[in-house]
Structure 1
Amino acid sequence: MVKERDKVLAMALGLDLSGTSISPIRGGSEFASLLQVQSGEKKFFVKAGAGKSSKTMLEGEYESLNAIHTAVPELCPQPIAHGDLQDGDYFLATEFLQLHGSSFSRQQSSSRENTLALKLGKLHSQPAPSDGRYGFPVTTCCGSTPQDNSYEDTWSSFFVNRRLLPILNACIESNGSQPELADHVNRIIPIAKYLLSRLSPPSSQPVIIHGDLWSGNQCNGSIPPRIPNPTPVVFDPSSCYAPAEYDHGIMTMFGGFDRKFWEEYETVVPRGKPAGEYEDRVGLYRLYHTLNHFALFGGSYKSSAIGIMRGLQRKYRDRVDGS
């Protein structure tokens, strides 16, 4: 018996169902299962999730991939379709990405011009189509955490109102009352406004950022027939229009990216000014992701987040009222 799911996917991808095979792929997550859809030489990758939250997540990923692919087509799989599947399920279909290992190995890339550092630098050098505003057309998810990307006119207001305060609320929702954590976040807000408002052009301009670019969300991969040879690619984005350095927060966690990567990247995207405050701004971006991990997983991420905030408070409390 042909599953209704298969009919929906074949129609969405413009395939003849009689010549289409759909099979599960090992992996996936608690949020979504993975499928391979093949018809002749055509092959697609599908994520399928259940419930309203999966619709938000996969629609956000579709729009994120579309934004990245439009700017730098060779950096990610092209999104093909997304929509309702069956019984409240939702799907996202993209080009099929064949993985070939870590993108840090230049030997696996077809040329030096195709390194991840230079491709990401190209993405981070193109102004976002947002008239200078910070945000994104849809909600995205970092992990399973929804991110309200309603537009703000300044980077500091976007970071505080659309990232820092909502993730504090998510921490409380997941872990119960957090008076100590809330006190630290409230005291870090004026410091965040101070630091982020001082970031100067062109580094302050919004560009398309990946949003969740830890080392596990990149690899060498091919996307036949469009990209037949292995090249650095990224996936699982939760994009928004923000300064390029916002991506550096998650990129400097969990082992991060090596020194050679950063040296090459910074030939295209130099550190923002004031350069002496760069590490502290990136500390704020790491704070968001650390709090997100506390909201998702609990544990020692709370103490790590408080440690980041205490360090910034010690350094800036004499310069910023209310901290």
Structure 2
Amino acid sequence: MAGVCHICPETGEYESLNAIHTAVPELCPRPIAHGDLQDGGYFLATEFLQLHGSSFSRQQSSSRENTLALKLGKLHSQPAPSDGRYGFPVTTCCGSTPQDNSYEDTWSSFFVNRRLLPILNACIESNGSQPELADHVNLIIPIAKYLLSRLSPPSSQPVIIHGDLWSGNQCNGSIPPRIPNSTPVVFDPSSCYAPAEYDHGIMTMFGGFDRNFWEEYEAVVPRGEPAGEYEDRVSLYRLYHTLNHFALFGGSYKSSAIGIMRELQRKYRDRIDGS
């Protein structure tokens, strides 16, 4: 595969697959090797993955116990090997955007310092000066710190997350000879050690995960407390991916991101100003 993320992209995907495979071996192909090519590209070799179609088609799933919701719930239920810190051992790429995963002691500091501020800079690098966008991000930072610092254990504890789990990065597939029958699998991860709900941002951005999926998943991984702020926390996570899409593709993603921030400002401005 050819890559446009020039900061060791194959290392990030290799280590992401390795982390997911170590936790839930039946959820993704095992990575085998990676490296740079002489022409400036890179390669990533994994177990052979034969794709069979959408994992949401229950007829194609090998068993009721192997649904994507239950497998993802299993992944999101296992503590990350990070001593309680948030981050990842290597840089990863979400699309072609490099992500600095240097460890932080709190989830709020990781999200602000390693996701929100860097993606604003990426938007400016790709699209030129963005004073309106920068103003909104500066206003949303204290709201992000407020909301994410209130997420309580066990939901605040870091687990292995996929990092780019939109519906196009999951499918039914087999991994012969290890997994000969069709089962839900994921690929193209951009992992880090973060609260499970961080994955929900990209999962709710484009649809594809229906009510049945979420009911089954939340039976394993309940919504974090305060549950009344769950949707707003997910809006923050979705904001990151919306800004990433603006950095990558431009267009209407900017107005979508500003819309998310305006709604959060409307709801939380008074609480922040009064604290």
* TM-score over 0.5 (shorter chain): yes
1:315 Cα deviation (Å)?
A: 0.3
Q: Distance in 2 between matches of 1:154 and 1:55?
A: 25
Q: What does residue range 222-301 of structure 1 map to in structure 2 within 5 Å?
A: 222-301=174-253
Distance 1:193 1:311, change over 3 A: same
Q: Is the 8 A contact 1:190 1:322 kept in 2?
A: no
Q: Distance in 2 between matches of 1:263 and 1:180?
A: 38
Three-state SS of the structure 2 residue aligned to 1:320 is helix
Q: Deviations over 1:135-172 (max 9, x none)?
A: 00000000000000000000000000000000000000
Three-state SS of the structure 1 residue aligned to 2:8 is helix
Q: Deviations over 1:106-129 (max 9, x none)?
A: 111111110000000000000000
Distance 1:143 1:288, change over 3 A: same
- Structure-2 residue corresponding to 1:9: none
1:84 Cα deviation (Å)?
A: 2.5
Q: Deviations over 1:181-230 (max 9, x none)?
A: 00000000000000000000000000000000000000000010000000
Q: Deviations over 1:247-273 (max 9, x none)?
A: 000000112300000000001000000
Q: Distance in 2 between matches of 1:278 and 1:287?
A: 14
Q: Is the 8 A contact 1:65 1:78 kept in 2?
A: yes
Q: Is the 8 A contact 1:152 1:158 kept in 2?
A: yes
User: Which of the numbers 182, 186, 194 marks the counterpart of 2:134?
Assistant: 182
- Using the size of structure 2 for normalisation, the TM-score is 0.97
More strand by share: 1
1:105 Cα deviation (Å)?
A: 1.0
- Structure-1 residue corresponding to 2:144: 192
Distance 1:290 1:322, change over 3 A: farther
Q: Distance in 1 between matches of 2:239 and 2:156?
A: 19
Q: Distance in 2 between matches of 1:138 and 1:54?
A: 14
1:88 Cα deviation (Å)?
A: 2.9
Q: Percent identity?
A: 93
Three-state SS of the structure 2 residue aligned to 1:236 is coil
Q: Is the 8 A contact 1:52 1:88 kept in 2?
A: no
Listed as ranges, the gaps of 5+ residues in structure 2 are none
Three-state SS of the structure 1 residue aligned to 2:43 is strand
1:69 Cα deviation (Å)?
A: 0.1
Distance 1:55 1:171, change over 3 A: closer
Q: Distance in 2 between matches of 1:240 and 1:150?
A: 10
Q: Deviations over 1:233-258 (max 9, x none)?
A: 00000000000000000000112300
- Structure-2 residue corresponding to 1:316: 268
Q: Distance in 1 between matches of 2:40 and 2:4?
A: 7
Q: CA RMSD in A?
A: 1.4
Distance 1:231 1:283, change over 3 A: same
Distance 1:322 1:98, change over 3 A: farther
- Using the size of structure 1 for normalisation, the TM-score is 0.83
1:57 Cα deviation (Å)?
A: 1.4
Q: Distance in 1 between matches of 2:98 and 2:75?
A: 24
Aligned residues: 274
1:279 Cα deviation (Å)?
A: 0.1
1:85 Cα deviation (Å)?
A: 2.6
Q: Is the 8 A contact 2:52 2:173 kept in 1?
A: yes
Q: Is the 8 A contact 1:190 1:321 kept in 2?
A: no
1:55 Cα deviation (Å)?
A: 5.6
1:297 Cα deviation (Å)?
A: 0.3
Q: Is the 8 A contact 1:287 1:308 kept in 2?
A: yes
1:60 Cα deviation (Å)?
A: 0.4
Q: Distance in 2 between matches of 1:169 and 1:54?
A: 17
Q: Is the 8 A contact 1:210 1:237 kept in 2?
A: yes
